[in-house]
Amino acid sequence: MPIITISRGTFSGGKELAECLSKQLGYPCVSREVIVAAAEQYGASEAALSTALDQAPTLLDRVRRDRDRYLAYIRAALCKQALQGSFIYHGHAGHHLLAGIRHVIRVRVVADMGSRVERAIKELNMGRRDAEDYVQRQDEQRRKWTRFLYGVAWEDPENYDVVINLEHQGISGACAIVICMAGLDQFKETPESRKALENMALQSAVLAALARDARTRDADFRVRANDGVVTVEGMGKLPKMDEAVEAVVREVAGVTRVVNQVANFGVPG
């Protein structure tokens, strides 16, 4: 059975759709739990991880390295969840974090601005002008965040398998549409898509380990994983970086062999 990711703007109804699908399909519904899991496993604060996902970076973002590290933790936690079976993930660009996995259904829900503002007024207890500003500001943060990290437009329908207007379909109609899609052959897990997920999960775990370790956290690495064989490329900023990378990667569960192509500081690759 597939994994379902739901992308939505603030107060667009994505959470309600996720809960409806969870009830109908029996899949666990996951969102903030992934952030909590990442915080617990890698020792980062939940608040810092939330900020990395919620606030758009700037071109001169002096905490870009921290942001990249937190995203590595979150992606590793999300992949770990995906290995356990079908679930529904809403918010925080899950469709990008699991990009390339065929048994992921990428859903985007939209709603008219008026209804979103009304919900903000009610749930946040604020005036209409403040509610309008809040919703628009949150949407703009997501646009900037997605463009900065993935080079794509957050609202581009090509990033999704289906875009559903909740004003027209309602939660029950949207739920029925996604359930129908979940039964289609093209979204069923296959041995190939499972292997792709396993490789992604190992790659993500290695990147998270490198991002966490004090010896390797400030360097950029490219990591590939295939059936337990992990290839690491990059240039270290310190002497003997290749040795540090080797030590960190070998400690990651599931790694059977390391192809170390890291060049040390000042040493030609």
Q: Is the pLDDT of residue 61 over 60?
A: no
Q: What is the mean pLDDT of the chain?
A: 86
**What pLDDT is stored for residue 12 in this prediction?**
85
Class of domain 3-187: alpha beta
Per-residue model confidence as pLDDT tens digits over 211-224: 999 889 888 899 99
All structural domains of the chain with their residue ranges:
3-187, 213-263
Residues 158, 159, 161, 162, CA torsion sign: negative
Backbone phi, psi, residue 165, to 5°: -90, 110
Bridge-partner residues for 8, per DSSP?
A: 109
Instruction: Give residue 57's pLDDT.
Output: 58
The alpha carbon of 141 is separated from its chain's Cα centroid by a whole number of angstroms, namely 16
Mean pLDDT of 114-128: 90
**Alpha carbon 116 to its chain's center:** 24
User: What average pLDDT does range 80-87 have in this prediction?
Assistant: 92
Q: In angstroms, rounded to a whole number, what is the distance separating the alpha carbons of residues 247 and 241?
A: 10
CA distance 111 to 94: 20
Residue 221 to residues 11, 122, 207: CA-CA distances in angstroms? 37, 46, 8
Least confident of 50-54, 57-61, 208-212: 57-61
Average pLDDT over residues 80-94: 86
What is the mean predicted confidence (pLDDT) over 14-28?
93
At 186 the pLDDT is 93
- What is the pTM (predicted TM-score) of this model? 0.84
**pLDDT score of 92:** 66
CA dihedral in degrees (33, 49, 251, 195; nearest 10)? 60
Residues 6 or more apart whose CB falls under 8 angstroms from that of 72 comprise 204, 207, 208, 210, 211
Q: How confident is the model over 166-211, as pLDDT tens digits?
A: 888 899 999 999 999 999 999 999 999 999 999 999 999 999 999 9
8 Å CB contact between 105 and 181: yes
CA distance 39 to 35: 6
The C-alpha atoms of residue 166 and residue 172 are separated, in whole angstroms, by 9
Question: Higher-confidence residue: 254 or 168?
Answer: 254
